[in-house]
Amino acid sequence: MLSSYCAIKRGMDGIFNERRIVNSIDNFNSNTLITEKRIIPRESSASVNTVAGGHWEYIERIDAPYNYSDEVCNATFIRGSDCNGASCPKNLMNWKYHDSSNEPYPTFHVDGFREHMRNKQIMFLGDSTMRQQVQALVWTLGYKIVNWNNRSLGKMNFYCMIDQIGNVTICYQFMGSMATKVYRDGNYTLDLKDYKLEFSFMAERETSFLLEDETINDLAVFDIVFIQGVAWFAGIPGFYNSPTSPRKWIDEILPELYRDVWEVLLTKLSDKTKVVLTLGQTGTSCENKTVPEPYYPELIPNKYSWVISPKLSNLSLDIIKDLSLEVQVVDAREPLMQSVHAHKNTDCLHFFMSSAAVNIYLDMYWNEVFRDYF
């Protein structure tokens, strides 16, 4: 029965601004004009991080948002590999995050989500760590069978499902490596698009098209776009390591590459629709861990370039501040990086889907985004 518990890898205040745009995600070939409502935050700084200074406590009896099982995962997955079974502790849902005042952090509110997001379209744009959040959201809404609709819009190819009770469209689009230019220094060259000819693995994961105006306009059909990408960008030095672009050199230019990309993406997209930037977990040292532990950035190992993740996360905040962008930030790093016990030892990046760690994302989305959306 152990496999039934485990799976591997797995604020805003404002006014409405209505505008008319072409295409809805329900009928991509339609020329019907639809009205998109977006919220414009009155403040453009990062949202208050109410989880700061908090800690996890073990609760013997707890109401879990869902009970993971391989059967449900196999009937709802976005990607089949997410349902590969693995042994893990059975009590990973028994942890509850408490804030700095030792008060339990409020959990995701299913009915409230459906009320506030009724008839809305939500896009989750990110790597596999964000895909885990989408999977957890679907299970928390009570779904045990989901037929994901594989959709295309411009150059995007993403997956959607519709919550019938609230008529909420939930979509996930993978976001991987991106660059705004070719980087050169002496004999070194980093051209992400050139790798399409050499490495099929990276060719499928090169998503610079997301920075194009056409794609930005396509993303504007969504009422909210959640974005997360630090974990993937931290891995770029290893992904593209070669004689002409050695890892050490890419490590040096990565902050410049990251800033170039995120300035374009956040500036363009936040001008079109509501954008939420998520800062979450990166890889950590998780071997033989059985309980949460305090988080200190200096404890992050340099495996897969994870050690640069805090710098990239802080760079995201600098970009938003420097450019006065209307981007909301959900900073979940502290509770997630404490959750060293909730990773599979061979991964140390993704959480077990049977863990409370994955669900702190949803809790924070409810408290900082969905609850105040109207």
Please give the pLDDT value at position 11: 30
Per residue, the 3-state secondary structure of the chain, as one string, reads CHHHHCCCCCCCCEEEEEEEEECECCECCCCCEEEEEEEEECCCCCCCCCCCCCEEEECCCCCCCCCCCHHHHHCCCCCHHHHCCCCCCCCHHHEEEECCCCCECCCCCHHHHHHHCCCCEEEEEECHHHHHHHHHHHHHCCCCCCCCEEEEECCEEEEEEEECCCCEEEEEEECCECCCCCEEECCEEECHHHHHHCCHHHHCCECHHHHCHHHHHHHCCCCEEEEECHHHHHCHHHHCCECCECHHHHHHHHHHHHHHHHHHHHHHHHCCCEEEEEECCCCCCCCCCCCCCCCCHHHCCCHHHHHHHHHHHHHHHHHHHHCCCCEEEEECHHHHHHCHHHECCCCCCCECCCCHHHHHHHHHHHHHCHHHCC
Over residues 119-131, the mean pLDDT reads 96
Q: Check whether 12 has a pLDDT greater than 60.
A: no
Please give the pLDDT value at position 302: 83
* More confident position, 166 or 71: 166
Residues 6+ apart with CB under 8 A from 42: 13, 14, 15
Please give the pLDDT value at position 13: 28
Spatial distance between the Cα atoms of 245 and 184, rounded to a whole number of angstroms: 9
Please give the pLDDT value at position 257: 98
Over residues 96-111, the mean pLDDT reads 95
What's the mean per-residue pLDDT of the chain?
Answer: 84
* More confident position, 284 or 37: 284
Q: Check whether 163 has a pLDDT greater than 50.
A: yes
* Percent of the chain predicted with pLDDT > 90: 70
Please give the pLDDT value at position 68: 87
- For residue range 171-226, list pLDDT tens digits in order: 999 999 999 999 999 999 999 887 654 455 555 689 999 999 999 999 999 999 99
- For residue range 232-266, list pLDDT tens digits in order: 999 999 889 889 999 999 999 999 999 999 999 99
Please give the pLDDT value at position 248: 95
* Percent of the chain predicted with pLDDT > 70: 82
Please give the pLDDT value at position 35: 30
Question: How far is the CA of 134 from the CAs of 35, 105, 228, in angstroms?
Answer: 25, 20, 12
Q: Check whether 109 has a pLDDT greater than 60.
A: yes
Q: Check whether 32 has a pLDDT greater than 60.
A: no
Please give the pLDDT value at position 180: 97
Over residues 150-166, the mean pLDDT reads 96
Please give the pLDDT value at position 79: 85
Prediction pTM value: 0.85
Domains by residue range for the chain, with CATH: 54-372 (3.40.50.1110)
Please give the pLDDT value at position 328: 97
Over residues 6-31, the mean pLDDT reads 31
- For residue range 54-64, list pLDDT tens digits in order: 999 999 999 99
| pLDDT bucket at 47, cuts 50 / 70 / 90 | very low
| pLDDT bucket at 9, cuts 50 / 70 / 90 | very low
